[in-house]
Amino acid sequence: MQWIFLVAMVIITSCGNNSSTAEAPIDLVVSENFKNPIGFYNPKPSFSWKLPVTEQIKSQSAYRIVVATNPALLPDNADLWDTNTVDSDQSVWVNYEGAPLESRQKVWWQIMFWDQDGNSSRWSEVAYVELGLLHNSDWQAKWINLPEAEVPDIMDNGYYFHRPQYFRKSFNLENPISQARLYITSKGVFEAEINGIRVGEDVMTPGWTPYKKRIETLTYDVTDRLKKGENAIGVVVAEGWYSGRIAYARSFVGEKPVPQLICQLEITFQDGARQIVASDASWSGTTNGPIRFSDIYEGEDYDANMEMSGWSTPDFKAEDWIAAEEMELDSEIKLLPKRHSAVREKMKLPVISITEPESGKFIFDLGQNMVGVAEVNIPVKKNQKITIRFAEMLQQDGTLYTANYRSARSTDYYIPKDDGMIKWKPKFTFHGFRYVELSGFDSTASPEKDWVAGIVQYSDFEQTGSFTSSHEKLNKLQSNIVWGLRGNFFDIPTDCPQRDERMGWTGDAQVFAPTSIFNSSVHSFWASWLQSAREEQFVDGGIPNVIPNNRGNSSSAGWADAITIIPWEMYLRTGDKSILEENFSMMQKLVGYYHMKPESRFGELNSFGDWLQPYSHNKEDDRKGDTPNELIESAYFAHSIQLTLNAAKVLGYDKEIAELQAVKDSVVMAFRNKFLDENGKLTTALETQTGYLLILTFDLVSPEMAKKIVPRLLNTIEEADNHLRTGFLGTPLLAPVLHKYGETDLLYSILFKETYPSWFYSINQGATTMWERWNSFSHDEGFGEVSMNSFNHYAYGAIGQWMYEGIAGISALEPGYKKILIAPTLGIPLEFARADYTSGYGVISSAWKKLTNGLELKVTIPPNTTARVIIPVEIGMKVLLDEGEIASNSNVSLVERNDASMVLELMPGKYAFKTQQ
């Protein structure tokens, strides 16, 4: 009897309609791609997983998720949530619907699925998610600072600054430890140590948010750092974005806020007892540590004579340290767990050559414009100051070109305490550079390449895509785009990483966001920045030009719209509806803001126009280009309404759908009446490429009218000798529009232009990143306009989207790539191209190669998706699959055969097609 019961149990728990077991699901993540997070921000996570790639598994027919408070309860006794068998092919974004999770809570989860034939999989490995501190009331700790830090010092250049504050606390733990977590953040930037060893690998934490509303907290597992007996924690806090110089003003215009620390070390002992070590007035501190000064723009000053050996260990005698002052938490400022990865050291670049253009000043070339810090490993003389300067470019005489840093000092100083070798890098600054100039080292030694390394830092995301082709310059462009991304995803999306700016310009962000997600796992990065946008939205619905905002209260068309465009783009590319839910009301308020103005008052909004359009005739401000503000404003108004409407449809917000549709129709009518004549010609003073591109991208006219407009656009391009005449707003639209209207040969020719203005032109001038201007530098004319000349500015990298979607031809037919389109665009200049992209379902790839008499196309489709592939093949030619007949493969079905292509529907798998005479 017992035996029969046991067998029955086994059958029930395997839950199969069919007894065979498939491989377990893999890559379990919560919410925006977090793998086993601790200190997690979201008490209602969603769950996603991937099906294993095997011959047999094509799709999921059902799943079961179990969630428990203890891994031992899994899978059979899940006490928090058991979905039981859910008949569904959903393998991404399954919302947790168990009891709400609480601060600190750690829960374990596991998943199994049934494939298309009802075969059950094995259970996945157990994954977990641990929450951070979700409420201000979770904090016993107080904000602390040193009294002396309240009075800032003044720098030589007149800017005030606060010296970095070192804090410490020693404490006794009487019992063996089972678990310890450090919850920590600062107003400023911090680095923590426990018992002399650094905590975590993050840099410049907590990053930059609207500090008056929200400061992000970090959580670290420090169980292994602590021991029974005496322990100590030490934290150094510097100004960072909080009170350092950032932008034309500081974060808080006119204020001189004091950097502060808050942290809470929570220890659980093996007997279950708990102890909390929290920042408060019992901590002591000093500003007399070795980091004398740190600032994002200026750099860092370090004096080794001031080193305090062992300052974060229990034995340290903190004799001249003073008591910290404590301050209660402010209920207006929410302390919330950081919702995207902090910046980290991601790569280390070696030096490729050394020069000495001025006696005693050696320049180390890293061969690549990058963002981060330089690590030096050099011989020094006691008290002989080392100067470390940076530049993105060199002048003709081989010395550093630093004029484009504007007022940013961007220099580090180090004073050695002894003769000998030092290894050092700064902690609380970052630089944008390719070249490092060293002087002041021990001049008896001759410089070696290993004296300097470039430590590349950016928000800790992974590569999700790659693009390569037969064309060297196109590959260089891809590399420059990726370096532009690495350089400008430094906790927030910045326009540039090197000069006295480095701000979250919204316009730049919206044009580059789609490209960024092809290349990197930046979904949570954008979701987090959008939260800052919600916090910064003005009462009237306007959106500041930079987020976080430190530039006053104006909104600009094409910039503000980042907050409708980015949620929509992220939804399309990930299938995550929560990004629409979270941002819907912000989107709606922006529409309301635009709508406040009667239609007759087009052009009321501030605008940067088609920023930096080449050959501008604009007499007021040539940077704003030739497309009138009012047209840009009205077009973006219509576009933002459309995207908000799309979101309302996805979310099923019926009331809003009707309202938004009505506004959209009236705006579009007004646009047509004002800006177009009946022949589709722009009525503006100048016909611009961008004017036509906006109309065609945002579908502001009927298909019949679009047919009249396309030739006009082509005409403006021809007049420019087949070059682009577009700025920040127009350039990203060129590819989608020309692609949509079948002008891909022209598009290839614009993209492959070597002459100004073009992508390859900058490459021909030596670009290793994207530049702010096509001619930021040229061999003939030298450096461009110095007042605004960044050599690391991702905006024009927006073409990367078409390299994936157009050239390689990978795009999403359904949000999140549940249904994929593979439709490569062959171009005369290319022999082959290949892109790989890791979607929520797994790797999608498309690789094509021209053959003497046809084409080879290799495609990978991940499980639980389907794909439509459009193979360019003329009538009369044959298409083979794996050297055989297509018809013999049951995973492929023919949708259509037309003059120019064969359209097939593919099940998951790998396919090699060949076209032949």
Return residues touching ligand RAM (CB under 6 A): 495, 501, 505, 507-508, 608, 611, 772, 788
> Do 496 and 782 contact (CB within 8 A), yes or no?
no
**Closest among 505, 506, 523 to 514, alpha carbons compared:** 523
Q: Residue 261's closest CA among 244, 238, 282, 245?
A: 238
Q: Which of 325, 392, 501, 633 is catalytic?
A: 501
d(CA 823, CA 741) in angstroms, rounded, equals 15
Closest of 430, 426, 449 to residue 370, by C-alpha: 430
Q: How far apart are CA 518 and CA 467, in angstroms?
A: 10
Q: Which is nearer to ligand RAM, 259 or 797 (CB)?
A: 797
> Closest CB to ligand RAM among 788 and 820?
788
We find the least distance from the C-beta atom of residue 598 to ligand RAM, in angstroms, to be: 27
Q: How many CB atoms lie within 10 A of CB 479?
A: 17
Angstrom distance (rounded) from CA 763 to CA 478: 11
890 contacts: CB under 8 Å, gap ≥ 6: none
> Which is nearer to ligand RAM, 509 or 870 (by Cβ)?
509
Q: What sign does the CA torsion over 176, 178, 183, 189 have? A: positive
State the minimum distance, in angstroms, from the CB of residue 629 to ligand RAM.
13
Minimum separation from the CB atom of position 548 to ligand RAM (A): 15
- Taking the least distance from each CB to ligand RAM, the nearer of 265 and 546 is 546
Phi, psi of 418 (to 5 degrees): -145, 165
Residue with Cβ nearer ligand RAM (789 or 838):
789
* CB nearer ligand RAM, residue 202 or residue 501: 501
Question: Which residues, 6+ apart, have CB-to-CB distance to 309 below 8 Å?
Answer: none
Contact 78, 68 (CB under 8 A): yes
Name the minimum Å distance from CB 49 to ligand RAM.
Answer: 39
Shortest distance, position 788 Cβ to ligand RAM, whole Å: 6
Nearer to ligand RAM, 183 or 559 (CB): 559
Catalytic annotation on 599?
Answer: no
Q: Is 166 helix (H, G, I), strand (E, B) or coil?
A: strand
**What amino acid is encoded at 78 in this protein?**
A
Name the CA dihedral angle for 278, 282, 287, 289, rounded to a multiple of 10 degrees. Answer: -70
Q: Residue 54: which residues within 8 A CB-CB, separation 6 or more?
A: 22, 23
| Closest residue by beta carbon to ligand RAM | 495
- Shortest CB 494 distance to ligand RAM, Å: 9
Q: By C-alpha distance, which of 202, 415, 408 is closest to 304?
A: 415
Nearest to 586 by CA among 632, 544, 556: 544
Nearer to ligand RAM, 241 or 293 (CB): 241
CB of 616 to ligand RAM, least distance (A): 14
Cα–Cα distance, 832 to 827 (Å, whole number): 9
Q: Which is nearer to ligand RAM, 49 or 611 (CB)?
A: 611
Please list the alpha-helical segments (H only) found in 61-217. none
Report the interhelical angle of 472-488 vs 506-519 (nearest 10°): 120
SS3 per residue for 289-340: CCEEEEECCCEEEEEHHHCCCCCCCCCCCCCCCEECEEECCCCCCEEEECCC
Least CB distance to ligand RAM at residue 512 (A): 10
Check: CB of residue 351 under 8 Å from CB of residue 305.
no
Rounded to a whole number of angstroms, the minimum distance from the CB of residue 113 to ligand RAM is 45
- Known active-site residue 856: no
810 contacts 847 by C-beta, under 8 angstroms: no
Q: Which residues are catalytic?
A: 501, 772
